[in-house]
Amino acid sequence: MKVPISWINEFVQFSDQLEVEAIVSAFIQLGFEVEEIDYVGQGISGPIVIGRVTAIEELSEFKKPIRYCQVDVGASNGGIRGIVCGATNFKVGDLVITALPGAELPGGFKIAQRETYGHISDGMICSLREIGIGEDHSGIFVLDGNFEIGTDAISTLDLLDVVLDLAVLPDRGYALSIRGLARELAIATKGTFVDPASLHEAFPKSKTGGVAAAISAKDDCQSLVLTTLKNVNSTAVTPWYIQRRLLLAGMRSISIAVDITNYIMLETGQPLHAFDKSKISGSIEIRYSNANEEIETLDHVLRVLGNNELVVADKSKGLSLAGIMGGASSEVTASTSNLVIEAAHFSAEKTSETARRHILSSEASRRFERGVDPQLPAIASNYAVKLLIEHAGAEVVGRNAVIGKEKMQTIAFNLDQLQVISGINFEKENLQRILNDLGCQIIDYDNFVVQIPSWRPDLLTTNDLAEEILRISGYDQIPSVLIGGQIGKGYSLPQRLERQLKPLLAAKGFVEILNYPFVSQEDIDLAFSEGFYTVDDLVKIANPLSEKEPFLRPSLLPGLFAAAKRNLGRNNLDLAVFESGTVFTNQKVQSASKSKISTPPSASELAQLDAMIPQQQKSLAILMIGKKITNPALTNLEAWQWSDAISTGVEIMKLLNLSFEVVAGTAMPWHPGRCAEFWIGDQLVGIAGELHPRVIEGFELPARAIAIEMNFDYLLENGVAVVPAEPLLMMPVAKEDLAIVVTDSVPAGAVLKSIRAAGGTLLEQARVFDVYKGEQVPVGHKSLAISLRFRAPDRTLTTEEVSAVKTDILKQLEKEFAAKLRI
């Protein structure tokens, strides 16, 4: 909210005049962020005076209309001066703000006598923007009112001020007014506060005629005050002091009636609305809307209402969206002479609901949503009538009001709880002073029962009052106490394992990146076989940032592909990237049941909530493209190949001490002949290999890119918490080599698995060290050279023992794979 300090100062008396810095720091302490400090008129200096236009000569020989004017700036300023002006929105006799040679305008613009358009221009006639108030530069500013020619405009028109733009928190509706902010400032600076609401008599409750008032929507409208006026001069010019304050607060001057309602809203916090009475039929009622009822609001949007919205209506139609925006059908115009001023109290909940439904926020709705003082309608409407009589010649026809009974909110202030919350032992007198300053009254000293003022509907509990007490005393008074020494169990096993694994991935040259989880159907279809993920398998966002990417990723790989593409575009050509993050599948989301969750929620309600959310799993994926990162000066740059993906998967499993098996797989997005599946028992936990050529082409990746994706949750949750140790065997090792011939289709892994089973406890290690095809090996066959290491825990193995095991192994291989010993 933009607040001219001069306006606040009208209602706060300080013992000493406060510096702007002191006011700013007081507001910050109170919880109002100062977003901007605008020194209005900074740099302005005279002579700037009020002048009267006495003659206008139109100069038509230029590209745009130019006027050569005679302006009377008073005898003491040299009488009548000739001034060239580019604006045309004034006439002879108008009062204008005239900057004379020697003057300086805000922004360092110096005025001097100069020759222009064939005349000597002896000063300048100013627009509002030129004197630093508001942004209006559509023409020069024409003054209205009783001003003496030649008087100093800077002091007469109050051209110097400081405007603070304060951020008002959503629970502080009262602070969206000069009234609320002045009270706060007075408390913080120990000034004396004069309540602007106390300066105007409350409206009498009696009905005295004019348009009748009724409330049928009693739950959402507490009070309605209507004043009917006649003979209103709608073209009367708004007095300068009102215009100036509206402009400084960031509002335009529109018409006398609208300006006055806005002015009172800013000062008191009570939104008001003016209707053209001639456009209303019969009485005014606050009622709920009917479904599909239509109202064209002042912004000329036709609003189709739902059932149960709050409207201000006459006998035949809805006139306005109550508390949000007036309607076009009853808008006040220049020809309006009969007015109805509405001052009402609408509920925060209903205003907020309707404003959100129509995505329509206004000055009025912002206030009602945050809570307006329910005592204000009667006061503010009287204030408005007073100003309309004074400045627009209005006459009161009659007044009608429905004033609801006010509920007095009280809080039994729990002082023990205050002590716990604040850590401060407040004296009761001190508390009472702060509470009184805030407008609270203590109605029971023994139990410290506090009555809350009408403008603070946000205060409901001891905690709310505690915040007020601390806010006024200063948060810096709160002591600092460090608690610790709680008995924590440290990181959980999955957290520990993830923490330990990631640096090892980095040590392998992999770079962690964090992608958005949003993905397009197109990319999913490209990465996986079309139809692999149906819409039912995927989780969709109702309001995605990009309509192209409405899905949550079922896999990390499409995100890594896209990131790789971005890197390639920036000439990062060789890279290995990894990500650990959530993947979303198996959408179970059903519309929530509308039944309210109990307090506290029951086990079945919690189960129901958990059943609603999609299946989510932490995944780990790695993508390697281009060359391995090695040094071209020392070694050949070697490209990543299919086996690197698989061996990386194996390393991860081994680092986590997991027992696993690897078998050939065919899943997308991998190359069906170069894809390995990692299994733990009957759980598929990961897939690794070279990417499918179609995927590589589709995502514009370099050929032979490789990737891994693993079910990280499963790996981490099934990690070994305590690794059982085995003694190291110290007896000599017996080494044997074996060369066997098998058909091409027999995987080396299967042969090794079989060797390990047949080798028993004496076989320590079996590795393939060569694969040979060619001479001496039949077509369709391959020769596997395998090294074997045997060792016993307690003795040196004899040659006989070793060859016995080797024979067992060969027999097993022959039986299982028809393997032949290669001679």
CA neighbor of 509 nearest in space, from 702, 636, 640:
640
Residue 118, CA atoms < 13 Å, CB-side half-sphere: 9
Under rule CB under 8 A, how many of the chain's residues touch other proteins?
A: 103
Give me the phi and psi of 535, to 5 degrees please: -55, -30
Contact 581, 554 (CB under 8 A): no
Q: Tell me the two tokens of residue 252.
A: 């335009």
Q: Select from 513, 639, 680, 752 the one that contacts other proteins (CB under 8 A).
A: 513
Burial class (CB in 10 A: 0-12, 13-18, 19+), 207: middle
Q: How far, in Å, CA of 554 to CA of 569, rounded?
A: 25
Contact between 572 and other proteins by CB under 8 A: the answer reads yes
Q: How far, in Å, CA of 576 to CA of 511, rounded?
A: 6
Interface positions, 292-351, toward other proteins (CB under 8 A): 349
Segment lying near other proteins (by CB under 8 A), choices 22-30, 275-283, 294-302, 309-317: 22-30
Q: Select from 232, 466, 696, 705 the one that contacts other proteins (CB under 8 A).
A: 466
Contact between 699 and other proteins by CB under 8 A: the answer reads no
Q: Select from 483, 722, 725, 779 the one that contacts other proteins (CB under 8 A).
A: 483
Q: Select from 552, 620, 706, 792 the one that contacts other proteins (CB under 8 A).
A: 552
Q: Toward other proteins, which CB reaches closer, 88 or 473?
A: 473
Q: How far, in Å, CA of 75 to CA of 52, rounded?
A: 12
Instruction: Give Cα 246 to chain centroid, integer Å.
Output: 29
The C-alpha angle 32, 19, 248, rounded to 5 degrees, equals 60
Contact 225, 203 (CB under 8 A): yes
- Closest approach of other proteins to the CB of residue 185, in Å: 14
Segment lying near other proteins (by CB under 8 A), choices 194-202, 307-315, 492-500, 660-668: 492-500
> Could you tell me if residue 793 is left (phi over 0), alpha (psi between -120 and 50 degrees) or otherwise beta?
alpha
Q: Select from 540, 753, 781, 789 the one that contacts other proteins (CB under 8 A).
A: 540
Q: Select from 63, 190, 405, 489 the one that contacts other proteins (CB under 8 A).
A: 489
Q: Tell me the two tokens of residue 506.
A: 């980095």
Q: Annotate 608-656 with three-state secondary structure.
A: HHHHHCCEEEEEEEEEEECECCCCCCCCCCCECCHHHHHHHHHHHHHHC
Contacts of 184 (CB under 8 A, 6+ apart): 27, 30, 32, 175
Question: β-strands 575-585, 511-512: how paired?
Answer: parallel
- Closest approach of other proteins to the CB of residue 738, in Å: 38
Question: β-strands 213-215, 284-288: how paired?
Answer: parallel
Q: Toward other proteins, which CB reaches closer, 464 or 525?
A: 464
Q: Cα–Cα distances in Å, from 291 out to 287, 308, 532?
A: 13, 8, 44
Q: Toward other proteins, which CB reaches closer, 503 or 531?
A: 503
Q: Select from 509, 673, 732, 793 the one that contacts other proteins (CB under 8 A).
A: 509
Contacts of 237 (CB under 8 A, 6+ apart): 144, 145, 256
Interface positions, 738-777, toward other proteins (CB under 8 A): none
- Residue 628: how many CB atoms within 10 A of its CB? 16
Q: Toward other proteins, which CB reaches closer, 314 or 467?
A: 467
* 276: helix, strand or coil: strand
Interface positions, 145-204, toward other proteins (CB under 8 A): 169-172
Contact between 553 and other proteins by CB under 8 A: the answer reads no
Q: Determine which helix (DSSP H) or strand (DSSP E) holds 119, and give its type and residue range.
A: strand 119-121
The C-alpha angle 610, 614, 616, rounded to 5 degrees, equals 100
Interface positions, 614-673, toward other proteins (CB under 8 A): 614, 616, 629-631, 633-634
Contact between 721 and other proteins by CB under 8 A: the answer reads no
Site string (388-417) toward other proteins, x via CB under 8 A: -----------------------------x
Q: Select from 14, 240, 516, 532 the one that contacts other proteins (CB under 8 A).
A: 516
Interface positions, 358-377, toward other proteins (CB under 8 A): 359
CA neighbor of 538 nearest in space, from 583, 484, 482:
583
Interface positions, 40-99, toward other proteins (CB under 8 A): none
Contact between 607 and other proteins by CB under 8 A: the answer reads no
Q: Select from 2, 230, 386, 471 the one that contacts other proteins (CB under 8 A).
A: 471
Contact between 595 and other proteins by CB under 8 A: the answer reads no
Segment lying near other proteins (by CB under 8 A), choices 209-217, 254-262, 490-498, 719-727: 490-498
Q: DSSP alpha helices (H): ranges in 222-308? A: 240-248, 256-268
Q: Select from 292, 335, 425, 486 the one that contacts other proteins (CB under 8 A).
A: 486
Q: Select from 17, 425, 543, 636 the one that contacts other proteins (CB under 8 A).
A: 543
Contact between 545 and other proteins by CB under 8 A: the answer reads yes
Contact between 208 and other proteins by CB under 8 A: the answer reads no
Q: Select from 492, 500, 683, 807 the one that contacts other proteins (CB under 8 A).
A: 492
- Closest approach of other proteins to the CB of residue 23, in Å: 16
- Closest approach of other proteins to the CB of residue 470, in Å: 6
Q: Toward other proteins, which CB reaches closer, 559 or 665?
A: 559
Q: Toward other proteins, which CB reaches closer, 85 or 176?
A: 176
Burial class (CB in 10 A: 0-12, 13-18, 19+), 302: exposed
- Closest approach of other proteins to the CB of residue 292, in Å: 20
Q: Toward other proteins, which CB reaches closer, 375 or 567?
A: 567
Contact between 728 and other proteins by CB under 8 A: the answer reads no
Contact between 499 and other proteins by CB under 8 A: the answer reads yes
Q: Select from 21, 206, 445, 488 the one that contacts other proteins (CB under 8 A).
A: 488
Segment lying near other proteins (by CB under 8 A), choices 134-142, 152-160, 271-279, 489-497: 489-497
Contact between 573 and other proteins by CB under 8 A: the answer reads no
Q: Is cis: bond before 544, omega within 30 of 0?
A: no
Q: Select from 104, 353, 363, 814 the one that contacts other proteins (CB under 8 A).
A: 353
Burial class (CB in 10 A: 0-12, 13-18, 19+), 142: middle
Contact between 493 and other proteins by CB under 8 A: the answer reads no
Contact between 547 and other proteins by CB under 8 A: the answer reads no
Segment lying near other proteins (by CB under 8 A), choices 214-222, 371-379, 581-589, 646-654: 581-589
Q: Tell me the two tokens of residue 498.
A: 């993830």
Instruction: Tell me 554's DSSP state.
Output: S
Instruction: Tell me 339's DSSP state.
Output: E
Contact 27, 20 (CB under 8 A): no
- Closest approach of other proteins to the CB of residue 624, in Å: 11
- Closest approach of other proteins to the CB of residue 134, in Å: 29
The C-alpha angle 247, 236, 49, rounded to 5 degrees, equals 55
